[in-house]
Amino acid sequence: MIGFVNLFKPAGPTSTQFGARLRKIYPERGTLAVGHLGTLDPQAAGVLPIALGKATRLIPLIADRRKGYVCTLVLGRATDTGDAHGETLVERAVPSDIDARLEAALPAFVGAVAQVPPMFSARKSGGRRLYTLARAGQTVAREARTIRIYALTVLGRAGDTVRLRIACSEGTYVRTLCEDLAAACGTVGHMGALLRDASGPFVLSESWTLDEVERAPAEALVPPERVIPIPTVVLDGRRATDFRAGRLVPLAEAPAEKHVFVRDSARALVGVGETVGALLAPRKVFL
């Protein structure tokens, strides 16, 4: 088994629960390896790409890790979790000129931005998840990290609720962005609804629900070549055998890219090779 599934996760279930469901849809001898290309919080919905089987070993080769989100920013109320499911910490009036303040604040949030991970997150401190510490009533110091916001747009506002579209780097906490943006506008706020509409090469319009995957599992499986845009080299019987054995293989013509997918004469995926001049070195071999 090797491939990716572009799942649509509704709000409610956890990302781990969806991985467990896929193991039942794609039965394999032993336990099917499942790898997430960025999980979603239970209350979030949207694109949840999952690597299956040997495709989990290809995750490091996915260069495009950008994320796209649509969310709501609820102004005037801060919560302990930074989202709509938390307890209210403080309430503050929303300035009457909030539209002008939003427009003025947005440019400072585009580009490289220092962001402190929220306590209610999966990052670790001293070997423990931050959300575990937060649920125990503990708060620990967290170092700011540099993330990148490629685009931040206000889609509209209804009362104290602002709709935002965000294009950002991997590791961006949208709830923290909402809190920081509210503060820059002279008030407080929290993230309301959250939808991820893109995760690297996976987009919302091409995602599948679990029910759809169950009805057509083969069609839902995305081959690695559609996710990782590197060339494919086809090796004949002897050279494919050498590649599987971890030996260097001579090439008639060196590919333009450093890494290539390797298939045998039957078009079965053998692994990933790295070009070394006119030689091909095995880097990931699928036996």
Percentage of residues in the chain with pLDDT exceeding 70?
Answer: 94
Q: Between residues 44 and 255, which one has the greater pLDDT?
A: 44
Mean pLDDT of the chain: 90
Check if 67-198 and 232-285 are the same fold. no
Mean pLDDT along residues 17-44: 86
CATH topology of domain 67-198: Pseudouridine synthase (3.30.2350)
How confident is residue 119, by pLDDT bands cut at 50, 70 and 90? low
**Distance separating alpha carbons of residues 281 and 248, to the nearest angstrom:** 5
In this structure, which amino acid lies at residue 139? T
The residue annotated as part of the active site, out of 41, 83, 180, 197, is 41
Mean pLDDT along residues 103-125: 84
Mean pLDDT along residues 68-78: 98
3-state SS, residue 278:
coil
Residue 254 confidence (pLDDT)? 76
Residue 222 confidence (pLDDT)? 94
Residue 252 confidence (pLDDT)? 81
Does residue 215 contact residue 26 with C-beta atoms inside 8 Å? Answer: no
Architecture of domain 2-63+201-226: 2-Layer Sandwich (3.30)
CATH code of 232-285, in short, is: 2.30.130.10
Question: What are the tokens at 156?
Answer: 């509209």
Mean pLDDT along residues 28-52: 89
Among 114-123, 150-159, 199-208, the minimum mean pLDDT is found in: 114-123
Mean pLDDT along residues 82-102: 95
Q: Between residues 186 and 119, which one has the greater pLDDT?
A: 186
Residue 258 confidence (pLDDT)? 87
Per-residue model confidence as pLDDT tens digits over 258-277: 899 999 989 889 999 998 88
Cα radius of gyration rounded to whole Å, the chain: 23
- Nearby residues of 278 by Cβ (< 8 Å), 6 or more positions away: 250, 251, 254
* Other residues' Cβ atoms within 10 Å of the Cβ of residue 240: 20
Residue 276 confidence (pLDDT)? 87
- Domain range list for the chain: 2-63+201-226, 67-198, 232-285
C-alpha 89 chain-centroid distance: 30
3-state SS, residue 32:
coil
Per-residue model confidence as pLDDT tens digits over 120-136: 766 776 666 767 766 76
Output the CA–CA distances (angstroms, integers) from residue 211 to 3, 38, 214, in the order listed. Answer: 18, 22, 5
DSSP string, 85-151: TSPEEEE-PPPTTHHHHHHHHGGGGSEEEEEPPPSSSS-EETTEEHHHHHHTT-------EEEEEEE
Handedness of CA 219, 221, 222, 223 (dihedral sign): negative
Q: What is the number of H-type helices and E-type strands within the chain?
A: 7, 19
- Nearby residues of 140 by Cβ (< 8 Å), 6 or more positions away: 119, 125, 126, 130, 133
Q: Is 41 annotated in the active site?
A: yes
Q: Which of 135, 125, 117, 131 is nearest to 174 (CA)?
A: 117
Given a cut of 80, whether residue 108 has pLDDT beyond it is yes
